[in-house]
Amino acid sequence: MNLKGNPINEWSSIDNLATLDRLQTLFVTSANFEGLNGLDVREMIIAKLSKLTMLNREDISAIERRSAELCKCNGLEEALKAPHENDIKRLIQIHGEPIADKNKAKKINVVKVSISYQGKSLLRPLPTSSTVSKVTQIAARLFALPNFILSRGCKFDLSGSHLQHHFSIDRKIVIALFKPKPVVHL
85-121 residue pLDDT tens: 777 777 777 766 665 555 554 555 667 777 777 777 7
Residue 186 reports pLDDT greater than 50: no
Question: Are 159 and 178 in contact, with CB atoms under 8 Å apart?
Answer: yes
Strand intervals (E) in the chain: 25-26, 54-55, 58-59, 110-117, 120-127, 154-157, 173-176, 183-185
Please, what are the domains in the chain?
A: 11-105 (no CATH), 110-185 (3.10.20)
Interhelix angle 62-75/41-48, rounded to 10 degrees, is 100
Q: Dmax of the chain from CA atoms?
A: 66
Whole-number Å distance between alpha carbons of 158 and 183: 6
pTM score: 0.43
